[in-house]
Chain A
Amino acid sequence: MRADGTVRTVVTGVGVAAPNGIGTEAYWAATLAGRSGIAPTTRYDASGYPLRLAGEVPDFEAEKHIPSRLVPQTDHGTRLSLYAADEALRDSALDPAGLDPYGMGVATASSMGGFEFGQRELQNLWSKGGRFVSAYQSFAWFYAVNTGQISIRHGLRGSSNTVVTDAAGGLDALGNARRQIRKGTTAMLTGGVDGALCPLGLAGHLSSGAMSTGSRADRAFLPFAEDAPGQVPGEGGAFLVLEDAASARRRGAREYGELAGYAATFDAAPQASGQAGAGLVRAIRRALDDARTAPEDVDVVFADAAGVPELDRAESRALGEVFGPGGVPVTAPKSMTGRLFAGGASLDLATALLALRDGTIPHTANVARPGPGHPIDLVTGEPRAADLRRALVVARGRGGFNAAAVVRRDV
């Protein structure tokens, strides 16, 4: 029990599907080795689009990981979600069948939905006619579909939901999961695995005006660099098993860490367009308060790392305001995956837990040093060994969403 009377929640399972690694340990090894998953787009002919690079999850053979019955009815992103959720559940060693029938639920985040599937069926509709549209289009495109498919596959009947807050979603889903556990649910499978790397999704991404149009994979996404050229979209993310700490303790579960704090704020227009930082500062301070953690007790920050100069400046200003200039190591391993939308913050949170576990801060790839407008201690070049007890994860979603979460290793 926490001092405020609410139950403690701990992460007992992690599953990852990322552009630079399928499976938690493969991803973590690639990240520490500085291997990037950003490469020329292969899944569709990108020659007619201004965006040529993407962080695609490579060599994912759905038939190997997903039951045959689910293959025809799922978008690529849902298949990746099912993979990561399955890994997280196995990793936790928690058997949902041993819980109350409503003892475990699913909380996901999504930015768009199964757009690749949806695009194909819309093309069928307009080129061939309604009878050529899959019956599964009824749900496969939908942004809540991952929650539903995961719930059905694992028989998780507890309170379940989906949030759509763009790239803040991974943390907002986690906050949602914690809320359900505080209301009495034993455990939640939570996270975001997102993407929509298809022309229909791309049309949405391009409308942000923030996308990087370069063709060199190692120069296209450079968060906090002086010459940051914009964002590269990617796909993937992570799932976590968040569990009532008493339950985890009872069954002797391995704990990655406690979700010690979470907060979300919203910047209304016109601040939202530049995400000026006031809302972000409030989100970070509230998450720290929630975790009863002073800024000086935070050992590392996993940044939102937009890769867009104005947004990067807003973030480093916010971090400077809370922690003081260079007051805490800051990193952006998403420099090796691209922006994963709702999956990005979930993967950052998983990465933060692995960093706490191994006492290693993964570095920000391809960025030699932060630009002059960024008074932050950016971890670059190679991973940095450190005694890590508390990590802060920061995430922003297009349109004004800010979220922050604090995870703590048992100290």
Chain B
Amino acid sequence: MSDANATATELTVEDLTGIMRSSAGEDESVDLDGDILDSAFADLGYDSLALLETVARISRDYGVELGDDVLDGVETPRELLAAVNRTLAAA
């Protein structure tokens, strides 16, 4: 997967939810296919470790370095997508 996506230039919300599911599972009370863009990760059932695992997977699969500064203040999927895609565009 990392080879296939290493040249991808954009992380979509579908890509993100797929990675969230496979890296940290899905809380039974949450539908990740619903309108989640502006929900806090905490409200979606993802704690800091789940977010860390998700970001590590994005970093591997998309071949980008996502340092602590990139993720500073990121609390929702929309903010994470923006941060990742900014880094992908600059790469």
Give A contacts to B, CB under 8 Å: 67-73, 131-132, 134-136, 138
Contact = CB atoms under 8 A, between A and B. Distances in A.
Contact of A67 (B28, B53, B56, B60): B28
By Cβ-Cβ distance, the 9 closest A-B pairs, closest first, are A68-B25, A69-B25, A135-B53, A135-B52, A68-B26, A71-B25, A135-B49, A72-B25, A69-B27
A70 B60 contact: no
A135 B56 contact: yes
B17 interface: no
Nearest to A133: B56
Nearest to A67: B28
Nearest to A71: B25
Contacts of A131: 56, 59-60
Contacts of A136: 49, 53
Nearest to A74: B25
B53 A69 contact: no
B25 A67 contact: yes
B53 A72 contact: yes
Contacts of A68: 21, 25-28
B82 interface: no
Interface of B: 21-28, 45, 49-50, 52-53, 56, 59-60
Nearest to A69: B25
Most chain A CB atoms below 10 A, which of B23, B24, B60: B24
Contacts of B45: 69
A27 B73 CA distance: 51
Given A131-B59, A131-B60, A70 B53 contact: no
A68 B56 CA distance: 19
A69 B56 contact: no
A132 B53 CA distance: 10
Nearest to A137: B53
A69 B24 CA distance: 6
B49 A138 contact: yes
A73 B24 contact: yes
Contacts of A135: 49, 52-53, 56
Contacts of B28: 67-68
9 contacts: A67-B27, A67-B28, A68-B28, A69-B25, A69-B27, A70-B25, A72-B22, A73-B49, A135-B53
Nearest to B53: A135
A140 B51 CA distance: 16
A155 to B, nearest CB: 16
B6 to A, nearest CB: 13
A66 to B, nearest CB: 9
A131 B27 CA distance: 25
A248 to B, nearest CB: 31
A135 B22 CA distance: 13
Contact of B50 (A67, A69, A132): A69
A72 B54 CA distance: 11
A68 to B, nearest CB: 4
Contacts of B59: 131
A34 B49 CA distance: 45
Contacts of B56: 131, 134-135
Contacts of A72: 22-25, 53
A82 to B, nearest CB: 13
A75 to B, nearest CB: 15
A193 to B, nearest CB: 21
Contacts of A67: 25, 27-28
